[in-house]
Amino acid sequence: MKVYLDNAATTPMDQEVIDAIIPIMQNNFGNPSSVHSFGRGTRAIIEKARKQVAGYINALPGEIVFTGGGTEADNLALRGAVDDLGVNHIITSKIEHHAVVDTAIAVGEKHNVKVSFVSFDEKGYVEIESIERLLEENKDRKTIVSLMHANNEIGNKLPLKKVAGLCKKYDAYFHSDTVQTMCHYKFDVRELGIDFITCSAHKFHGPKGIGFLYINENLQLKPIITGGAQERNVRAGTENIIGIVGLTKAMEVAYRDLDEHQKHVQGLKSYMIEQLERIIPEVKFNGDPKENSLYTVLNVQFPNTDMDEMLLYNFDIEGIAVSGGSACSSGSNVGSHVLRNIGVDMAKPALRFSFSKYNTKEEIDYTLSVVKDLFAVKV
Ligand code: PLP
């Protein structure tokens, strides 16, 4: 049996997405910047998609900038804020995805921008008071707060509206990497009062290499990738029409069936927690999976055995794909900056199981039977 439980790294594409892309590849090759009918046809498809995408998050079409994925969108938000909005202070966390934390550090070093890090409580939640303290201490600076909506390794969620309120109070910008939560929850950017959010299509059954940055209409960024006037002068380069159509269809499918999928996936996660606790009484979970947690992610801390180093590979041998580290460095839990920074005992082996609507209870039962076999004789 082959079981894919690494959906926080990437997801399989929906058939409806593939079906939407194929005719575009066959028929719509015109360059959207061309003035002739071939180009105009492609341009019309892109603008229709932009409008549809904006509608799902209650944004305006002009607030959506298509990018080459989540990493680029995170870069555009942070680098743009420093280059074009006078930001000289970034508040972020040490458990952000590398696309944010490495960018914040790089920008900080290059542009003499102060970078401050929030603290966590014992369950790995961002301490909201530490955000306010840092904002208060740096009142004389122009700040952008960049904190992800849900952590891709442990699943802990951030109360976006509360943080947005704090940012308003201190006249700071607020960016959130919503790569793991877009299309898994509903979003209303107007109600949230947020300045930037990042999206990546391959985390919700869309294609890789396409995402977007929502930029509030009152903010004007210059491109970090220069060389053309595409995307209203914010992102140069011929538009990825296949990706844009795929992303839009994936969003449509996700939001159409959201309630049903949330219920299904949360059910699988809860079942897995319950059964793991039954099979291995010493099992622990990193983060806070029974509370304010992304329903697709479960980070499990197993007891030590003589196969600690080989745990992920043992699952792989049995046909089960899981991850030991962050989404983009799957393969081992050695050096997970997230687990280390929330104070997890790094001597214990940890694996991330992440679920999608395509997983079944039978697959979870098979995975649990492998857990049983691996641990029954070893613990
Ligand atoms: N942000 C988060 C939270 C992620 O999980 C990922 C992917 O793993 C990214 C950003 C990067 O997105 P992309 O792969 O589209 O560049």
**Got the DSSP string for 243-297?**
HHHHHHHHHHHHHHTHHHHHHHHHHHHHHHHHHHHHH-TT-EEES-TTSSB-TTE
pLDDT of residue 327: 32
Q: Yes or no: say if 251 and 242 are a contact pair by the CB < 8 Å rule.
A: no
152 within ligand 1 shell (Cβ under 6 A): yes
Any ligand 1 atom below 6 A from CB of 179: yes
Q: Of 328, 336, 338, which is best to mutate to test ligand 1, by the most ligand atoms within 8 angstroms of its C-beta?
A: 328
Q: Is 254 in the pocket of ligand 1 (CB under 6 A)?
A: no
Which residues, 6+ apart, have CB-to-CB distance to 304 below 8 Å? 347, 348, 349
Q: Are 254 and 183 in contact (CB under 8 A)?
A: yes
What is the structure's pLDDT at 334?
52
Please indicate whether residue 180, judged by its CB atom, sits closer than 6 Å to ligand 1: yes
Of all residues in the chain, what percent carry a pLDDT higher than 90? 94
In order of 12, 317, 318, the CA distances from 3 in angstroms are: 12, 11, 9
Position 378 pLDDT exceeds 60: no
Tokens standing for 209? 């290499």
Which amino acid is located at 158 in the chain?
L
Number of helices (H) and strands (E) in the chain: give both, helices first: 13, 12
Predicted local distance difference test score (pLDDT) of residue 354: 98
- Percent helix / strand / coil, the chain, rounded to 5: 45, 15, 40
CA 327 – ligand 1 centroid, Å: 7
Question: Is a pLDDT exceeding 70 seen at residue 25?
Answer: yes
Q: Whose CA is nearest to atom 10 of ligand 1?
A: 70
What would the two tokens of residue 298 be?
């479960």
Residues identified as active-site: 328
251 C-alpha vs ligand 1 centroid, how far in Å? 17
Kindly report the three-state secondary structure assignment for every residue of 236-251: CCCCCHHHHHHHHHHH
Beta bridge partners of 285: 300
- The whole-angstrom separation of Cα 9 and Cα 81 is 27
pLDDT band at 365 (very low <50, low <70, confident <90, very high): very high
Note the pTM of the prediction, 2 decimals. 0.96
Return the ∠ at Cα 19 (arms to 14 and 25), rounded to 5°: 120
- Judge if the beta carbon of residue 68 lies within 6 A of ligand 1: no
Which ligand 1 atom sits nearest the alpha carbon of residue 151? 3
C-alpha 254/C-alpha 353 separation (Å) is 21
Q: Output b/e per residue, 124-158; b: 16+ Cβ within 10 A.
A: bbbeeebbeebbeebeebbbbbbbbbbbbbbbbbb
Which residues make Cβ contacts (< 8 Å) with residue 185, sequence separation at least 6? 149
- Res 379 pLDDT > 60: no
Q: What is the pLDDT of residues 261-307, one digit of tens each?
A: 999 999 999 999 999 999 999 999 999 999 999 999 999 999 999 88
As a whole number of angstroms, the distance between CA 232 and CA 26 comes to 27
